[in-house]
Amino acid sequence: MASILRNPNPNFPSLSKTSSSFLGLRVPANLSWPRRVASAMRSPFSVSCTLTREPVGADASAEYGVRPSSASQRPDSFGRFGKFGGKYVPETLMHALTELEDAFWSLSKDAEFQEELAGILRDYVGRESPLYFAERLTDHYKHADGGGPHIYLKREDLNHTGAHKINNAVAQALLAKRLGKKRIIAETGAGQHGVATATVCARFGLQCIIYMGAQDMERQALNVFRMRLLGAEVRAVHSGTATLKDATSEAIRDWVTNVESTHYILGSVAGPHPYPMMVREFHAVIGKETRKQAMDKWGGKPDVLVACVGGGSNAMGLFHEFVDDLDVKLIGVEAAGYGLDSGRHAATLTKGEVGVLHGAMSYLLQDDDGQIIEPHSISAGLDYPGVGPEHSYLKDIGRAEYYSVTDQEALEAFKRLSRLEGIIPALETSHALAYLEVLCPTLPDGTKVVLNCSGRGDKDVQTAIKHLQL
Amino acid sequence: MAPCTTFLSCTKYYCGHSLPRLDLRSSSKSPGRSFPRMASRNVVRSFKILGTFSKLRREGKVALMPYITAGDPDLATTSKLLQLLDQCGADLIELGLPYSDPSLDGPVIQASTRRALANGTKLETTISMLKEVAPRLSCPIVLLSYYKHIEAYGVEKFTSIVAEGGVHGLLVPDVPFREIASLKRRTEANDIELGLITTPITPRYQMEAIVDVSEGFVYLASSVGVTGARPTVNPQVEDLLQELKEVTTKPVAVGFGISKPEHVKQIATWGADGVIVGSAIVQLLAEARSSEEALRHVEIFTKSLKAALP
């Protein structure tokens, strides 16, 4: 029989999902945004004026008795963060997405699964990653009076495979195994997520196919080799701009075709629900560790969190733990490429408009005809014309601020961290580091800044060689 | 009336329960209504798509539904192709609005959308072309658009622009079920029938909800995957058609992979009300060395498909 006689989903509709937790991480409870966000904006650490908008409340399309989204649920049961998010995918994928979400929630309560995952994160990935006091970088940003912020780096670059990507890849691979899927697909921009996926597929014995834009394959040849060495098949995507956007579209089409046998390990907090939520939860260990480490180191919380934003996974991983702590400032840094006015950038949250891409409603870069613009950034991992819907939401409600930094500024920061701390950062991370130039002069003495050092820069030396005169 | 139907179907889709059928439901059991029904905004609806299928059913025929991408290779050729397909016996024509990242289309249609986008094809120019040619066509047009375009214009503006072009049907491959209510309000107000897609792996209760809400016809994707010619027709289609017929009397059109007269014949014998052929025709356009050659090849091919149908 062609049909699948499926039992009604016992979890729909239910609020309990958004008050569950994964790996013991708390998902925020009810909040009233406007007043508290406004007071955070008046805090002494405010860098700039950000208009605080009313949170997007009941969804207009929910008026037929379907559960409305509210600002306090991130996301609601339809995967909405305010008006952002959702599941704009063909019908073919709907069942798989539901199945994935059900599996995610049931495994969040499965002690055996959690223990297995925690063990792999500890013994294989090498967690917990250090929270490192960057002494010379801190000195560099000292004000004339000798005071200044204290800069800490959350060393996700020290994870196995050299970036934060592995946190999500490992968890999704385990989830895929529980779902009985033997074939894994993924998209990759810089190659870090591809390498992380190929790594976990080797570790767990899964067939691995990675889609990568042909242009990206050229600029990240080292990662392509690594993926192949790890046993993955890397398929070049030549269509469109031949970068991450097209690789993602091709991966979605592969999933539409092979959905019954295949799990799609999406690499960022983008895509259709439940991916933005799931990937955030799998990276949330970054923020959770940071809270504990901050308490151990200085007996308090960070004051400012800074992270680069491409799709937004490392930023959400750091921010999520602190979203309810309104005295913690959240700053995301995007790629301004050749400059915001050049038309060649990837600053989605600064210059983009709301639209649908890869299954989610979010900010994206599009032209007047609604066609998606080809972005540019020197860093392949930030070269994405969209952004995770949760970031779009946090920006709209004023909870997080987003700025951007040019290729040139990122390269300078790449060099700066290498020289001051002996850490070669990824070009993606260099964008966050570059923003410190603007941020630090405004911060009072003793402000604790935690910057997510999301990856190491070995993969970028060939690009850097072309641009840096050393 | 329609909002209640959509609400109940929405509940069915997400909650997984088959709800009892209510009398409020419109036209699902009587496709051959001879008078137009008043929609919620006092728009007189013509139900051209449903009407076409009803007429064919009475004549014991199966609809031939070719698909082409607007603007491939250019809008002038698209205009000629629409007229040609109409003359060769197409009963309905599916016209795709090009989009850069189509999640349900394979390499052939992806390439066609790239060609169309490269020459600047967009909604306004497509609709201008349609305004001119649609009055000359005897068969209705179903526009296929990904949700991105609808979001970019806003549901209200998009549906009213599309209606101006003489479009009577709309297919949106990636609209989540929950958004359909608001989209359907606008399509109804603009006398457009919103068709929905069901697949071989859609769970039964979701298929029932889709079928409840779909207007004009129900699109059955013949296989799990993206568009693109396949050597044979998925044998599951026979069972899927039977299942659909148990649940509705609405017309069911089968698409994806159909590329030969033999396929078309087989699907017709299995009880489909319509057969959609896309990539096979688009491929002819891609391979042709000139516009005239393209038209010639499409004419020959379409006539061979028509001949295979009752």
State which residue of chain A sits closest to B10, comparing Cα positions: A66
B24: confidence class by pLDDT, cuts 50, 70, 90: very low
Is the CB of A256 less than 8 angstroms away from the CB of B204?
no
A371-404 core/surface letters (b: 16 or more CB in 10 A; e: else):
bbbbbbbbbbbbbbbbbbbbbbbbbbbbbbbbbb
Residues of A whose CB is below 8 A from B205? 6, 8
At residue B19, the pLDDT reads 43
Is the CB of A91 less than 8 angstroms away from the CB of B203?
no
Mean pLDDT along residues B198-213:
94
Residues of B whose CB is below 8 A from A369? 120, 122
**Dist. CA A160–CA A199, nearest whole Å:** 9
Mean pLDDT along residues A161-188:
95
3 state SS for chain A: CCCCCCCCCCCCCCCHHHHCEECCEECCCCCCHHHHHHHHHCCCCCCCCCCCCCCCCCCHHHCCCCCCCCCCCCCCCCCEECCEECCCCCHHHHHHHHHHHHHHHHHHCCHHHHHHHHHHHHHHHCCCCCEEECHHHHHHCCCCCCCCCEEEEECHHHCCCCECHHHHHHHHHHHHHHCCCCEEEEEECCCHHHHHHHHHHHHHCCEEEEEEEHHHHHHCHHHHHHHHHCCCEEEEECCCCCCHHHHHHHHHHHHHHHCCCEEECCCCCCCCCCHHHHHHHHHCHHHHHHHHHHHHHHCCCCCEEEEECCCCHHHHHHHHHHCCCCCCEEEEEEEEECCCCCCCCECHHHHCEEEEECCEEEEECECCCCCECCCCCCCHHHCCCECCHHHHHHHHCCCEEEEEEEHHHHHHHHHHHHHHHCCCECHHHHHHHHHHHHHHHHCCCCCEEEEECCEECHHHHHHHHHHCCC
At residue A72, the pLDDT reads 54
B138: distance to nearest CA of chain A, Å? 31
Strand ordering across the sheet containing A360-364: A80-81, A84-85, A360-364, A353-357
Count of all residues that appear for chain A in the document: 470
- Strand A21-22 vs strand A25-26: parallel, antiparallel, or unpaired? antiparallel
At residue B15, the pLDDT reads 67
What does each C-alpha distance from B74 to A121, B78, B110, B118, B145 come to in angstroms? Answer: 54, 6, 15, 10, 18
Backbone φ, ψ for residue B309 (5° rounding): -100, 150
The owner of tokens 């039964």 is B204
Count of all residues that appear for chain B in the document: 310
Q: Closest Cα partner for A383 from A463, A449, A323?
A: A463
Q: Which of B72, B86, B91, B105 is catalytic?
A: B105
The owner of tokens 């698209």 is B78
Q: Which residues contact A277 (CB under 8 A, 6 or more apart)?
A: A74, A75, A79
At residue B4, the pLDDT reads 56
Is the CB of B203 less than 8 angstroms away from the CB of A95?
yes
List pLDDT tens digits, range B120-177.
999 999 999 999 999 999 999 999 999 999 998 999 999 999 999 999 999 999 998 8
Determine which helix (DSSP H) or strand (DSSP E) holds B185, and give its type and residue range. Answer: helix B180-189
The owner of tokens 């549901």 is B155
Q: Closest Cα partner for A259 from B172, B104, B224?
A: B224
List pLDDT tens digits, range A230-245.
999 999 999 888 888 8
**Dist. CA A197–CA A209, nearest whole Å:** 9
A69: distance to nearest CA of chain B, Å? 12
> Would you say A199 and A174 are in contact if contact means Cβ atoms under 8 Å apart?
no
At residue A77, the pLDDT reads 85
Q: Say yes or no: A58 contacts chain B, CB-CB below 8 A.
A: no
The owner of tokens 């040019």 is A406
Q: Closest Cα partner for A169 from A216, A204, A220?
A: A204
Class of residue A236 by CB neighbours under 10 A (exposed 0-12, middle 13-18, buried 19+): middle
Class of residue B299 by CB neighbours under 10 A (exposed 0-12, middle 13-18, buried 19+): middle
| pLDDT for residue A27 is more than 50 | no
Q: Which of B10, B155, B178 to mutate to test the interface with A (most CBs of A within 10 A)?
A: B178
Is the CB of B176 less than 8 angstroms away from the CB of A370?
no
At residue A156, the pLDDT reads 97
Is the CB of A9 less than 8 angstroms away from the CB of B104?
no
Q: Which of B10, B13, B101 to mutate to test the interface with A (most CBs of A within 10 A)?
A: B101
B18: confidence class by pLDDT, cuts 50, 70, 90: very low
Mean pLDDT along residues A211-239:
92
DSSP B44: B
At residue A327, the pLDDT reads 96
B5: confidence class by pLDDT, cuts 50, 70, 90: low
Q: In chain A, pLDDT over 70 holds for what percent of residues? A: 84
> Would you say A62 and B178 are in contact if contact means Cβ atoms under 8 Å apart?
yes
Q: Say yes or no: A469 contacts chain B, CB-CB below 8 A.
A: no
B96 three-state secondary structure: strand
Backbone φ, ψ for residue B238 (5° rounding): -60, -50
| ipTM surpasses 0.90 | no
A462: confidence class by pLDDT, cuts 50, 70, 90: confident
At residue B16, the pLDDT reads 63
Strands (E), B148-192: 169-171
Q: Say yes or no: A60 contacts chain B, CB-CB below 8 A.
A: yes
Residues A357, A342, A332, A379, CA torsion sign: positive
Against a cut of 0.90, is the pTM above it?
A: no
| pLDDT for residue A405 is more than 80 | yes
Is the CB of B174 less than 8 angstroms away from the CB of A90?
yes
Mean pLDDT along residues A154-165:
95
The residue with greater pLDDT, A441 or A22, is A441
Q: Say yes or no: A38 contacts chain B, CB-CB below 8 A.
A: no
Size of interface A-B (CB pairs under 8 A): 156
| pLDDT for residue A367 is more than 90 | no
Is the CB of B14 less than 8 angstroms away from the CB of A12?
yes
Q: Say yes or no: A261 contacts chain B, CB-CB below 8 A.
A: no
The closest CB to that of A257, out of B17, B152, B224, belongs to B224
The owner of tokens 């060689």 is A465
The closest CB to that of B226, out of A13, A65, A256, belongs to A256
Q: Which of B86, B91, B94, B193 is catalytic?
A: B94
> Would you say A192 and A223 are in contact if contact means Cβ atoms under 8 Å apart?
yes
- Strand A80-81 vs strand A84-85: parallel, antiparallel, or unpaired? antiparallel
State which residue of chain A sits closest to B4, comparing Cα positions: A64
Contacts by residues A201-208 (CB-CB < 8 Å, ≥ 24 positions apart): A201/A173, A201/A230, A201/A231, A201/A232, A202/A230, A202/A231, A203/A124, A203/A170, A203/A173, A204/A173, A204/A174, A204/A177, A206/A173, A206/A176, A206/A177, A206/A181, A206/A182, A207/A182, A207/A183, A208/A184, A208/A232, A208/A233
At residue A37, the pLDDT reads 39
At residue A389, the pLDDT reads 97
State which residue of chain A sits closest to B224, comparing Cα positions: A257
Residue B94 designated active-site: yes
A206: distance to nearest CA of chain B, Å? 22
B86: distance to nearest CA of chain A, Å? 29
Is the CB of A2 less than 8 angstroms away from the CB of B200?
yes
Mean pLDDT across chain A = 86
At residue A26, the pLDDT reads 40
List pLDDT tens digits, range A36-68.
333 333 333 333 333 333 333 333 333 332 333
List pLDDT tens digits, range B83-123.
999 999 999 999 999 998 999 999 999 999 999 999 999 99
B69 three-state secondary structure: strand
Is the CB of A64 less than 8 angstroms away from the CB of B3?
yes
- How many CA atoms lie less than 13 Å away from A346 in the CB half-sphere? 29
Tokens (6 digits) for A179:
């779902």
The residue with greater pLDDT, A408 or A71, is A408
Tokens (6 digits) for B235:
């044998």
Is the CB of B152 less than 8 angstroms away from the CB of A370?
yes
Determine which helix (DSSP H) or strand (DSSP E) holds B142, and give its type and residue range. Answer: strand B141-144
Mean pLDDT along residues B253-258:
96
Q: Say yes or no: A111 contacts chain B, CB-CB below 8 A.
A: no
Residues of A whose CB is below 8 A from B226? 253, 256-257
Is the CB of B101 less than 8 angstroms away from the CB of A372?
yes
- Strand B93-96 vs strand B63-69: parallel, antiparallel, or unpaired? parallel
Residues A117, A123, A128, A134, CA torsion sign: negative
A444: distance to nearest CA of chain B, Å? 43
Region of B225 (left: φ > 0; alpha: ψ -120 to 50; beta: rest) is left
Mean pLDDT along residues A19-35:
39
Q: Which residues of A are catalytic?
A: 165, 187, 454
DSSP B17: -
CA dihedral A309, A273, B69, B105 (to 10 degrees): 100
At residue A244, the pLDDT reads 85
Q: Say yes or no: A373 contacts chain B, CB-CB below 8 A.
A: no
State which residue of chain B sits closest to A253, comparing Cα positions: B103
State which residue of chain B sits closest to A370, comparing Cα positions: B152
